[in-house]
Chain A
Amino acid sequence: MAGVELLSDQGYRVDGRRASELRRVQCRLGVLGQADGSALLQLGNTRALAVVSGPHEIRGSKSKALHDRAVVNCQYSMATFSTAERKRRPHGDRKSIEMSLHLRQTFETAILTQLFPRSQIDIFVQILKSDGGNYCVCVNAATMALVDAGIPLQDYVCACSVGFVDETPLVDVCYAEEAAGGPVMAVALLPRSEQVAFLSLDSRLHEDHLSGVMKAATVACRDLHAVLSRIVKETLQEATAGE
């Protein structure tokens, strides 16, 4: 790409990070009073609000209900002002539908759905500001919202995207790096068991590099897990101290 140098010779990325460095994570649980669980999570400049409701009775047609486990319903939407170019529709476009589907798949693996037969769990995620890694921020935010809602999970679900530039995996890519068109892999990991809950790869990546990228993603997800669990602990401590 003309002009944009994703990884400088000195090893800095466009926003000044090193290749294996995550953006700053900030997160607050229970931001919305009405919902069963909510979380606002910010990774660098990407900010997502996740709201969880349920488990509750199936809404709409009862035929959707599953007799042995809960239905997970996800909706992903992006605020019209979240990107530099104004978006026309907040949700319902193909990308959002795909993203909703990905989120559902991710969380169906993580939530212990068999505990809530014939019920429904809703996860709504809203991107308020997008600067790359939307999927990953959504997953992390939704995890936190699920924790806030007290829904039993196998494990945290931590997601991180990894790009690949100049033979180097770039952890947690920002928008500029995403837009450059190189391969970007999004990994959602259950960190304790190191099981992969979700994996997607855009663009072409040579097989030889796959293990390196996966490794970088795994490390990043584990780091994220540490941050997220620390935040949960702190939130709980504050809550209990207040009582």
Chain B
Amino acid sequence: MRDNHASSFRVRQSPTISDTVQRIDQLNFSFQLFPAIASYLHHFRSCTLLGKVLGADLTHFLTPDCSVALHYLEVLELPQLHGVLFTHTAYQHVQHKSRRLYQRLRRLLNSPRSDCVLFANEFQLGAYVDRQPSEDLVAWQARSVYHAAVWYYNHLSKIIPVVMVTVDSAVVEKYGSATEGVYVVPFQAYLESFWPDVPEASEFLVSLHQALTAKEVESCRGSKREFAEHLPVDVLEAGIRAGLYIKGTLSMNKHKAHVEAFVRQPGLLSKDTDDVLVLGIKNRNRAIQGDVVAVELLPRTEWQGRSLTLGDVGRDDCPQEESHGEPMPTGRVVGIVQRNWRDYVAILPPPEEGPTQGRQAQRLLAVPWDFRIPKIRIATTQAAMLQDVRIVVRIDSWDSGSQYPNGHFVRALGKAGEIETEVAAILIEWGISVLPFSEAQLREMPTDSPTSPWALDPKEVARRRDLRLSHLIFSIDPQGCEDVDDALSIVQCDGLDSTIEMGVHIADVTKFVPPGGPTDLEALPPHTTSADRRFDMLPPVLSSNLCSLRSGEDRYAVSVLWQLDKETYEVKDVWFGRTVIRSTYKLSYETAQAVIDGGHIEIATEIPELSGTEDEQQARLGELRDVLNILTDVARAWLCRRTAKGGLQLEGSEVRVEFDGVPGTVSGLTPKKALEVHETVAECMIGANAWVAQHLCKSLLGCTLLRRHPSPRPELFGPLCNAAESQGFHIDISSNKALSDSLEKTKDHGEPLLSRILRMLATQAMSNALYCSSVSVPQHDLKHYGLALPLYTHFTSPIRRYADILVHRQLLAVLAAENGDFEDPEVMLSSTSLEEICQHLNERTRAAQKAQKDSVELFQCLFFRDVNPGIEESSTDHRVADALVFAIRANGVLVFVPRFALRGAIFLKDKEGRVARLMADGRCDFSHGSLIHKKHEIVSQPSDGQPFVLHLFDHVTVSFIALHTTWRQMAVPLHYIFHAIIAFLICSIFTTTWADLKYL
């Protein structure tokens, strides 16, 4: 309580700035000013600390004034700058001026990495200054910031100088040398003299400055309006409440980014219905992909249907008679509730011919990588240097008078087309930031070095069940896997009721990652494996050492042990708990499969753990084989039982990307081969996850993190049912069991690929599995549709997934509670915070998946670009392959290429409206004619040739070329590069030769 030593009491006029004043605040806010303040400085640890402590090596504090904080926040965000002290005055200024920048600033201040802190000077006695009657706002702000800087300097006993930076030369003049130890310098000069080794900062400043001046010039010009004005926020909110406008997230049609966009209302999970169609740029009114907008519905007579034409990203501007679906609600954007601008990867167009404007900043339209984003106008002097370079661009504003948004250049990623650049581009586009592990994280880690090897703690061992001697434990992972987070064991218990004890042992990550610690906080975003690199969630000392269940080493684990009936493999009993294990074998999938398949002594060389004489090896190999066989049997039985309940076996088209030694090139693309042992291990993990989920839900200790898979929406099964129907199969989609059964039947068809394609189509129809909190969703919605399990969670990959760490904590808390030990109630998160984490995890998982998909596409593209340099025809050409038609569209077909597990579109109509014509040698070209689109077939009827028909599941031969890095030719719009990664060129039908038809 402050009242006892209340210091002073001031009343300040509330800073009401509004355009139209409805009322004048009679009420004054009272601010309490405190005599004591938290110090962020390392030297002052004795003071109350507010979370962050600035590094001890700090030479000065940097205090930006209001306009620097507002306009050049991004420079201050640079991690190279240390000790940035934001004043509350500047903080509030940013809050008033721009909501978006304010969020950014908050994130910056909250981020445990940044060296930025906030000084609440307006709440601080002595640091606060009253506004004088004749003083205008800007002058007062400058004085307030300066005063705060002086106060802070004195507060820190004048140990560390404070530098106030500004862009206002008058401020420099006025305060420049008023106090010793507090310097006021222009921002530019500051960066040049204090951070000469950070040239980015200055460049960035220049870039921002150019954007700013360009904007001013523009606003002076007062150009005519391109778009209708947005409605003010309060009108929007009122309108949304009143139901006049619909609020939702804008998403562009991927194939018709310039014409079609949809507004999806939040909360509705539906994919198609209830969306509002927004047609055309004018109606979209400057909204960008991902923005939360308010739309007004157009009169019913102006409603239109969505386009059904096969999207061709290369020619969406061509006029053609399009087929449209049923008219649906159509509207126009009246205002933007929230911008969701992020960093965009873009590329600059080639320089225009003509006189350059000397050293003047050029105004250029950067073309974003994501073709759903409009071109961004940036001002830069570095245009010549940035040719063919992928750059990061941020949007600043989009005025109604401008056809394109204004932005500024942030940094360059590297030459387009190079693997490093492209991977970086993908990561930025999906908002995945890969940062090195921070010092704080590494400090938290245990050490394991040759000089001080890590060892088990005997006390900890005593608290755990020791399985080191009693159990034969082994792990099965991909070749060369470093982070082994799961291991298995089988023990045959002889006795009266002979049972088998099967165990799944998961690395005990939570032992090393205390909740709320730096590692825990940093681990929250999920971590991905791109085809050629892995981004670790945990520092290497954990992920590939102390938490990796390597063979021959003692490790902490959390185990699930089942007692199984020897005959039926029914689970009789289950035990969960913390253990100490020592894995005996670290097997690869291939080796494990070879052992099961009865390979002999030659396998022994593959397993380094098998040592000793040949007989010993043989004996131990035999033992291992027995164990693996039991494991396989158990998994088979479980899988069988689950399938009987409706578990689906779905088909994803995954490829493995092979790299040979040459950096930056892809040497091969092979579809992933599935061995039975893959399934076996997967089944064991599914079992462990499901049992843990059940156990967590049984205990009533609060809410549990679960993974649910909602039932798919029936209307999405259209393509699947249609495809199956063409081959005389009926797909029953009433339940997962029915679906599974009807898919099973298609296996008997003569075309072996049919079943695979149908399963692929079924996979497409599936909804995404989601993390959720057990209390936020009704019980019957918690089920996992695909696995046919009532409850499911993620437990088995704590090294790679954050959700598993949470589940581990929850399980351990539940187990502790069962023993009457409510050790740490903090672990059980509140329902709202768990829900928040789930949302975040879902979002990030989705981004990671997309990034992964994009990177695979990237590698495919690189593969087709690099492997066949320009050879046009050859029978072994990788660019020719057999493909199957699996869907019919209005102007083409979709095909699947089993060889590369690729899907793609073939157009039977080019942009001049000509249709494909089959020539005598089996090749195709285009000529005038018409195209008839039916349910199961498409007929191309050229006016001067034979009509030809493509049915569903027809084999065609396709060739593909990577849309080569065509940024030198303006013929192909730049932003389709790597998106239209592989254009399927036609194709001869039922023949092995291929046509070379280029309309691209």
Q: Which residues does A use to contact B, with CB under 8 Å?
A: 2-3, 5, 8-12, 14-17, 21-25, 44-45, 81, 83-85, 129, 131, 167, 174-176, 208, 223, 227
B29 close to A (CB within 8 Å):
yes
Closest to A44 in B: B30
- Taking the nearest CB of chain A, how far is it from the CB of B519, in angstroms? 21
B30 touching A15, Cβ below 8 Å = yes
A162 to B19, CA, bound (A): 34
Within 8 A of A (CB), among B1-60: 1-4, 6, 9, 11, 23, 25-34, 50
**Which residues of chain B have C-beta atoms less than 8 A from A23's C-beta?**
30, 32
CB-contact partner of B109 in A9, A174, A208, under 8 A: A9
Complex Cα spacing A208 to B25, Å: 38
Q: Which B residues are closer than 8 A to A by beta carbons?
A: 1-4, 6, 9, 11, 23, 25-34, 50, 95, 99, 106, 109-110, 118, 120, 122-123, 233, 237, 830, 832-833
CB distance from B514 to the nearest CB of A (A): 20
Residue of B nearest to A45 (CB): B30
Q: Which residues of B contact A85 (CB under 8 A)?
A: 23
CB of B27 within 8 A of CB of A83, answer yes
**Are B110 and A9 in contact, with the CB atoms below 8 A?**
yes
Which of chain B's residues have a CB closer than 8 A to the CB of A129?
Answer: 27
| Known contacts A45-B27, A85-B23; A16 and B33 CB within 8 A of each other | yes
Chain A residues touching B, majority SS: loop
Contacts of B32 in A (CB 8 A): 15-17, 21, 23-24
Please state if B23 and A16 are interface contacts (CB–CB under 8 Å): no
Docked pose: A10 CA to B11 CA in angstroms: 22
Closest to A220 in B: B1
**Is the pair B99, A3 in contact by a Cβ cutoff of 8 Å?**
yes
Q: Are A227 and B3 in contact (CB under 8 A)?
A: yes
Please name all residues of chain B whose beta carbon is closer than 8 Å to the beta carbon of A83 when the two chains form the complex: 27
Cα A22 to Cα B2 with chains together (Å): 7
- 11 A-B pairs with CB atoms under 8 Å apart are A9-B110, A10-B50, A15-B29, A16-B33, A16-B120, A17-B32, A21-B2, A24-B6, A83-B27, A84-B27, A227-B3
Complex CA–CA separation, A140 to B349 (angstroms)? 72
The residues of B that contact A208 with a CB separation of less than 8 Å are 830
Q: Across the interface, do B830 and A167 meet the contact criterion of CB distance under 8 Å?
A: yes
Measured between beta carbons, the chain B residues less than 8 angstroms from A81 are 26
State whether B30 touches A10 (Cβ < 8 A): no
A84 touches B25 (CB 8 A): yes
Given contacts A10-B50, A10-B118, contact A16 B25 (CB under 8 A): no
Give the residue name and chain of the B residue nearest to A219 (CB). Answer: B1
**Interchain CA distance A224-B23 in the complex, whole Å:** 34
Distance in angstroms from A130 CB to nearest chain B CB is 8
Task: Pick the contact of B9: A2, A10, A24 (CB < 8 A).
Answer: A24
Q: Once the chains are docked, how many angstroms separate the CA of A44 from the CA of B31?
A: 9
Determine if A16 and B122 form an interchain contact, defined as CB atoms under 8 angstroms apart.
yes
Contacts of B233 in A (CB 8 A): 2
In the complex, given contacts A16-B33, A22-B1, A223-B1, what are 12 additional A-B residue pairs having Cβ atoms less than 8 angstroms apart?
A9-B106, A15-B30, A15-B31, A16-B31, A16-B122, A16-B123, A24-B32, A45-B11, A45-B27, A45-B30, A129-B27, A175-B27
Instruction: Give the CA-CA distance A129 to B26 in the complex, in Å.
Output: 10
Is the CB–CB distance between B123 and A12 below 8 Å? Answer: yes
Decide if A24 touches B26 in the complex (CB within 8 Å).
no
CB-CB under 8 A from A15, the residues of chain B are: 29-32
**Closest CB of chain B to A206's CB: distance in Å?**
8
Q: In the assembly, what is the distance between CA of A56 and CA of B388, in Å?
A: 94
How far is A15 from B237 in the complex, measured between Cα atoms in Å?
26
Q: How far is the CB of A165 from chain B (nearest CB, A)?
A: 13
Tell me how far the C-beta of A159 lies from the nearest C-beta in chain B, rounded to whole angstroms.
Answer: 16
Are A10 and B99 closer than 8 Å at their CB atoms?
A: no
* Residues in A whose Cβ lies below 8 Å from that of B120: 8, 10, 12, 16
Distance from A213 Cβ to chain B, minimum over Cβ atoms (Å):
14
Q: Distance in Å from the Cβ of B22 to the closest Cβ of chain A?
A: 9
CA distance A243 to B635 in the complex (A): 96
**Within the complex, which residue of A12, A14, A24, A45 is in contact with B2, where a contact is CB–CB below 8 Å?**
A24
Residues of A within 8 A of B833 (CB): 167
Report the 3 A-B pairs with minimum CB-CB distance, sorted nearest first.
A16-B123, A84-B27, A223-B1
CA of A229 to CA of B33 in the docked complex: distance in angstroms?
A: 25
Does A25 lie within 8 Å of B50, measured CB to CB? no
For B4, give the chain A residue with the smallest CB separation. Answer: A227
Q: A26 to B946: give the CA distance in the assembly, Å.
A: 98
Known contacts A11-B50, A12-B120, A16-B33; A24/B27 CB under 8 A: no
Which among B9, B99, B106, B832 has the highest number of chain A CB atoms within 10 Å?
B9
Q: How far is the CA of A1 from the CA of B152 in the complex (A)?
A: 33
Chain B's closest residue to A167 (CB) is B830
In angstroms, Cα B34 to Cα A12, docked, is: 12
Query: B3 near A25 (CB under 8 angstroms)?
Result: yes
Min CB distance, A58 to chain B, in Å?
39
A167 to B9, CA, bound (A): 29
Complex Cα–Cα for A176 and B832 (A): 24
Residues of A within 8 A of B106 (CB): 9
A9 to B99, CA, bound (A): 16
Residue of A with least CB distance to B6: A24
Distance in angstroms from B421 CB to nearest chain A CB is 36
Q: Which of A14, A17, A167 has the most chain B CB atoms closer than 10 A to its own CB?
A: A17
Q: How far is the CA of A195 from the CA of B557 in the complex (A)?
A: 51
Residues of B within 8 A of A44 (CB): 30
B residues near A227, Cβ cutoff 8 Å: 1, 3-4
